[in-house]
Structure 1
Amino acid sequence: MSDPTYPPLDTPKPVARDIWVVDGPVIRFYKLPFSTRATILRLENGDIWLHSPTRWSPELQGRIAALGPIRHLIAPNWIHYAHIADWQKALPQAQVWAAPGVAARAASHGVDIRIDHDLTQDAPPGWAGQIDQMIVEGSRVHHEAVFFHRASQTLILTDLIENFEPAKLPWWFRPLARLGGVSEPGAMPRDMRASFAGHRDRLRAQVQRMIGWAPERVILAHGRWYRENGAAELRRAFAWLLD
């Protein structure tokens, strides 16, 4: 049976110094099976910054806490907040940082999340100089916070690029991924592209800024992430916009 996930699951896997990924179990989005992924950064003061947390468990919390105290929980867009409430319940002292749209979406779904800080175009003092950030704007519905970890030259995206490997998908999902534009080697979903209609110049400038960060790696929440040639992968994935 096809398995869209990336075992081993629920365990931090090193990417470079002070950065790890956690691959989580399958989630269902509009009944489609998605792999999902969290990113862990250890800040210079030793604090742990947890981006788009996957499913909480005491075992996973313990494995991450072994890397440092978990101080920051990041909800990077209006969809990727699903597990924040469970992590917040387990770690009430951790600060929750949320992108535009998260609070309204959570409230509309009856999810009780305490949002401590809004993510903005500028990195806060807690990680300024270590992690660059930007809110990608211009879509009618999708506002995503993207991050660049300077020390490891790693760009952290969530849904702006998805990269599903056909061999890991159920046979019936493969044509849907291809039609959606998210089959390997990966790109922005076609429905998301359409949501930027009338604001492509703004999106283009934001993508060019990401390329200007010169990432070596690009971590994605869904599908295979890019371990090398990150800036080139961005140029390829957004060729429809940049050409």
Structure 2
Amino acid sequence: MLKEFGPNIWIAEGPTVTAAAGFHYPTRMAVIRLTNGDVVVWSPTALTDDLRSEVETLGAVRYLIPPNSLHHAFLGEWQRAYPDAKIYAPPGLREKRKDIRFDGDISDGPIAAWAGEIDLAIMWGNRITTEVVFFHRESGTAIFTDLIQQFPRGWFRGWRALVARLDLMVASEPSVPRKFRVAFTDRRAARESLQRILTWPTDKVVIAHGPLISNDGQAFLRRAFRWLAD
């Protein structure tokens, strides 16, 4: 179930979930093992016995990280399974999930326990959600959630297929959907965030809804965000 994506980073595919207007989305999570053996779970998917067993073979689950205010459906079950794990809230999620005990809020500064291993940048200025982008230094992996997407042709049916095509959700290469582009009402803030992301020596890219990018990650990100950088 866990697939190694680089040194000390693994990927797990979760179930398909239904979002607004009946759009179906696959789910994906990333697991990072820090140098001290602690485990960070990014965007937790449905917790099964098999997945739990595999994750626990990597080390102690110490951190559960929802990356934006949209990816939190399975957070409660992971907190119940790992009550001592710390959860840091991305902008906007604390208000939505009163049932979750948050141990802190994600800001533009690094999280002390990960300093030197995982960097982060908050993509400010979007009206849909404020996404936190992470960078795992050891594997050279940038981790995105909803800002970059690509679905296979035929994934959506009927009018949803038309919307997906117009929204660039089924473009020839993973890209930023048009709805997110329009929702960046503060483009100056977004560009400042992007500039920080583009300084990372990115080789690989994880996106929640689309293919994994295994090489030339920085060039890929420059293409995906050319519309914003220009």
Q: Name the TM-score, length of structure 1 as normaliser.
A: 0.89
Q: Which residue of 2 aligns with 1:118?
A: 105
Q: Deviations over 1:191-233 (max 9, x none)?
A: 1211212x11221222122121021111001121211111111
Task: Give SS of 2:58's match.
Answer: coil
Give the percent of matched residue pairs that are identical in Structure 1 and Structure 2.
38
Q: How does 1:186-205 map to 2 (within 5 A)?
A: 186-197=174-185, 199-205=186-192
The question of whether the paired residues in 1 share the 8 Å contact of 2:121 and 2:196 is answered with no
In 2, the alpha carbon distance for the partners of 1:105 and 1:93 equals 22
Q: Which residue of 2 aligns with 1:13?
A: 3
Q: Which residue of 2 aligns with 1:96?
A: 87
Q: Which residue of 2 aligns with 1:217?
A: 204
Q: How many residues end up aligned between the 2 structures?
A: 227
Give the deviation of 1:17 after TM superposition: 0.9
1:136 corresponds to which of 123, 143, 165: 123
After superposition, the CA RMSD in angstroms is 1.4
In 2, the alpha carbon distance for the partners of 1:227 and 1:29 equals 28
Q: How does 1:1-243 map to 2 (within 5 A)?
A: 11-30=1-20, 31-107=22-98, 112-167=99-154, 169-172=155-158, 173-184=160-171, 185-197=173-185, 199-243=186-230
Give the deviation of 1:14 after TM superposition: 0.3
Q: Could you list the runs of 5+ residues in structure 2 that have no partner in the other structure?
A: none
The question of whether the paired residues in 2 share the 8 Å contact of 1:38 and 1:53 is answered with yes
Q: Name the TM-score, length of structure 2 as normaliser.
A: 0.94
The question of whether the paired residues in 1 share the 8 Å contact of 2:150 and 2:169 is answered with yes
Q: Deviations over 1:95-137 (max 9, x none)?
A: 1111011111224xxxx21111111111122101111111111
Task: Give SS of 2:114's match.
Answer: coil
